[in-house]
Structure 1
Amino acid sequence: MTSYNEPIDEAELARLGIKRVPADTFHWGEFRYSNARDALAAARRGARK
């Protein structure tokens, strides 16, 4: 079993055909969103309060 504390073996990723891709994360307050539309919707709901 692999521990989450072990570094990622890039050669193993490549051997298995796993690609690393950058991903945007949108932060609003204490929340994180992977989708900008969700972040906008939450912020707009928060502004109405």
Structure 2
Amino acid sequence: MVSQPRAATVMGLMEEARLARLRGFKVAKQNGSVKTAFGRVRDFIVGNF
């Protein structure tokens, strides 16, 4: 827990950016087959719902 609101906001934004980068790299590593397309849709649904 961070005592200063400004630091808490910065830490939250940095964590969100880190997670977004990881999601981006995961998609970039995959091939373009139909199987991986369904895998991406499944990962999106599981990750967001």
Normalising by structure 2, what TM-score?
0.31
Larger relative helix fraction: 2
Looking at secondary structure, tell me which structure has more strand per residue. Answer: 1
Q: Which has the higher Rg, Structure 1 or Structure 2?
A: 1
Structure with higher RCO (Cα < 8 A, 6+ apart): 1
What TM-score do you get using the length of structure 1 for normalisation? 0.31
